[in-house]
Structure 1
Amino acid sequence: MTALLIRTHHLIAGFALLTLAACGDTSPKWEPQDMFGSPAEKPVDERYRAMIDFKALSRDEAGVEYAAGPSATVLGAVEEAVALCQEKGGKGCKAVRVGLTWVDGLDSDGIKAVMETYRNTMLAEATQASNAGNAGAANWLAFHYAVRGENLGEAERLIKRALQVAPDDPGALDTYGLVLYKQGKYQEAEEIFIAVNKAMPTAEHLAHFADNALAMGKTEMARAAYQRALGAQPSAVLSQEIQKRLLALDLGGGSATQ
């Protein structure tokens, strides 16, 4: 998806992974891959360029490799790479590269440790950039908190700051809607998500609207939105999640996990 920074999220199969996301474009542009460099600096060096262009790799037991990127974050690309492997029918899919780090041969704890290092570095960079007034970083950080359901008061403060810079940006508005949804303010979130999807009905935006509708008890509205999201070219990870939600609705249950 595009808008204030590109984002990808959710859990990788087999690991209790930490979720990161980023959303679209702002000025100056900030992405978590630009670690250790300020947003005002000239082009990133080759290490960071490689990270942006090739952020994660998975491999199946037959040796076939699946690369994810360039739109995903470093951590989001890991779950996407594994999901791509699974989607293509691969057996024994596992992550073999995270960002610039080869993790082939590491156990799950070792891989999680590598990802934790990336997470901590990205959060530190995002906080620094946000404190320096970068709206894209503020949006990224707010979305990260919202997805994890933590620091929601700070997330609201951050996203409102980003919206002062880009009040009509669909990505920033989607983040704001997600924060409201996580706070249980479903009616307010619904109004935001409607505006977002009128402007940019991506699979992720539609899924957020559907999650909120489900929380409000509007199951048929949620079902229709999930189905539309499936037709909007969702990522492999999001596609799997939407199908699980639809199956739960078909079985007479289903509630969006906050």
Structure 2
Amino acid sequence: MSVLSIRTHYLIAGLALLALTACGDTSPKWEAEDMFASPAAQPVDEQYRVMADFKALSRDEAGVEYAAGPSATVLGAVEEAVALCQDNGGQNCKAVRVGLAWVDGLDQTEIEDVINTYRDTLTAEAYQAAQAGNIEAANWIAFHYATRGENLGEAERQIKRAMQAQPDNPAILDTYGLILYKQGKYQEAEEVFIAVNKVVPTAEHLAHFADNALAMGKTDMARAAYQRALAAQPSAALSQEIQKRLLALDLGGDAAPQ
């Protein structure tokens, strides 16, 4: 086992011990509410997003515009801008700007080309910064890949670099938990998410825990965590996703994230 693997092993063990000490029994009979502190007064999701001061813009048919960003991914900012428009009662909401590029009048394929150009540019810049020792950039890359379910081996390599430098950073640990979840290592991910949410229970962190709980078949725990996430100031896009999953749980359908 490499030194890095040994350190990672002990980090996970330490996180598990921290969770057990703070929370008590984590078996299925344990009440979901017991693990959560009060939701954070202010979201700290910007820790992920220092790499890109990115904005997307949407507009409704009345000409009212809605801006969103910065965001961990370009596509996320676009979705958030449209969701903001819809949540405020806008009709025929559509993206009209992606970063500095105006996309009003472009078809969907052309808009996706613009999004991909920005995404590739941001990723290249993040790699360059990570190579220079920027820990936030390494975390950004790992989070970017984890949210998309792509290049998980590279995501793990980048997040372990960040963890070596800042082993107690909740944002970095949340990204690590997300990677474990995407790899199907649900028990390990749960231990990490418990530790993260005891320290910084933001809407995004709570939703990640809930997604993982759902994958483990712990539907009551997932429902409680989703409800906590809704009370913790989620973005418009995240709020929509959480409400869809809660509705699917209530209807007895498949609420798992796609």
Q: Aligned pair 1:223/2:250, yes or no? A: no
Tell me how far apart the structure 2 counterparts of residues 143 and 69 of structure 1 sit (CA, whole Å).
16
Deviations, residues 49-70 of structure 1 (Å, cap 9, x unaligned) = xxx3x71211001111111135
Secondary structure in 1 matching 2:104: coil
Higher relative contact order (CA 8 A, sep 6+): 2
Q: Does 1:146 align with 2:119?
A: no
Measured after TM superposition, the shift of residue 179 of structure 1 is 0.3
Matched residue SS, 2:96: strand
Mapped partners of 1:128, 1:222: distance in 2: 38
- Rounded Cα–Cα distance in structure 1 between residues aligned with 2:74 and 2:119: 9
Indicate conservation of the 8 Å contact 1:152/1:179, yes or no: yes
Residue identity opposite 1:2 in structure 2: V
Contact 1:212 1:256 (8 Å CA) reproduced: no
Q: Secondary structure at the match of 1:97?
A: strand
Q: What residue is the counterpart of 2:86 in the other structure?
A: 86
Counterparts of 1:70 and 1:157 in 2: how far apart (Å)? 25
Q: In the alignment, residue 44 of structure 2 is paired with which amino acid?
A: T
Q: For the Cα contact (< 8 Å) 2:74–2:119, is it kept in 1?
A: no
Which residue is equivalent to 1:68?
A: 68
Deviation at 1:105, TM superposition (A): 1.1
- TM-superposed CA distance for 1:73, in Å, is 5.4
Determine if contact 1:215/1:255 at 8 Å carries over to the other structure. no
Q: Distance in 2 between matches of 1:114 and 1:121?
A: 11
Equivalences for residues 121-132 of structure 1 within 5 A = 121-132=121-132
Q: How does 1:198-217 map to 2 (within 5 A)?
A: 198-217=198-217
The TM-score with structure 2 as length reference comes to 0.79
Matched residue SS, 1:220: helix
Question: Is 1:2 aligned to residue 39 of structure 2?
Answer: no
Asked whether the equivalents of residues 186 and 212 of structure 2 are also in contact (C-alpha less than 8 Å), the reply is yes
* % same residue: 77
Q: Which residue matches 2:25?
A: none
Which whole-Å CA distance do the structure 2 matches of 1:165 and 1:240 have between them? 35
Q: TM-score, normalised by structure 1?
A: 0.79
The answer for the alignment partner of 1:47 in structure 2 is none
Does the 8 A contact of 1:96 with 1:102 survive in 2?
Answer: yes
- Structure 1 counterpart of 2:10: none
1:75 Cα shift? 4.0
Contact 1:204 1:234 in 2 (8 A): yes
- Secondary structure at 1:242 match in 2: helix
Instruction: Tell me, in whole angstroms, the C-alpha distance in 1 between the residues paired with 2:57 and 2:161.
Output: 35
Q: Using the TM superposition, give the Cα deviation of residue 71 of structure 1 relative to its aligned residue in structure 2, in angstroms.
A: 6.0
| 2:225 is equivalent to residue 183 of structure 1 | no
Pairing 1:1-258 to 2, within 5 Å after superposition: 1-2=43-44, 5-6=46-47, 23=48, 31=51, 33=52, 52=53, 55-70=55-70, 74-257=74-257
Q: CA deviation at 1:244?
A: 0.6
Query: How far does residue 72 in structure 1 lie from its aligned partner after superposition?
Result: 6.3
In the TM superposition, what whole-angstrom CA distance separates every residue of 1:183-238 from its partner, at most 9, and x where no partner exists?
A: 11111000000000011000000000000001111000000000110111110000
The question of whether the paired residues in 2 share the 8 Å contact of 1:55 and 1:73 is answered with: no
Residues 194 and 209 in structure 1, CA contact (< 8 A), matched pair in contact too = yes
SS at 1:57 equivalent: strand
Per-residue deviation at 1:255?
A: 3.8
RMSD, aligned CA: 1.7
Q: Distance in 2 between the 1:74 and 1:183 partners?
A: 23
Question: 2:210–2:222: 8 Å Cα contact kept in structure 1?
Answer: yes
- The separation in 1 between residues aligned to 2:202 and 2:175, in whole angstroms, is 14
Unaligned runs of 5+ in 1: 7-22, 25-29, 34-51
**Residues 28-59 of structure 1 deviation map (CA, whole Å, 9 limit, x = unaligned):** xx51x3xxxxxxxxxxxxxxxxxx3x712110
Count of matched residue positions in the alignment of Structure 1 and Structure 2: 216
Distance 2:240 2:75 in 1: 18
Deviation at 1:95, TM superposition (A): 0.6
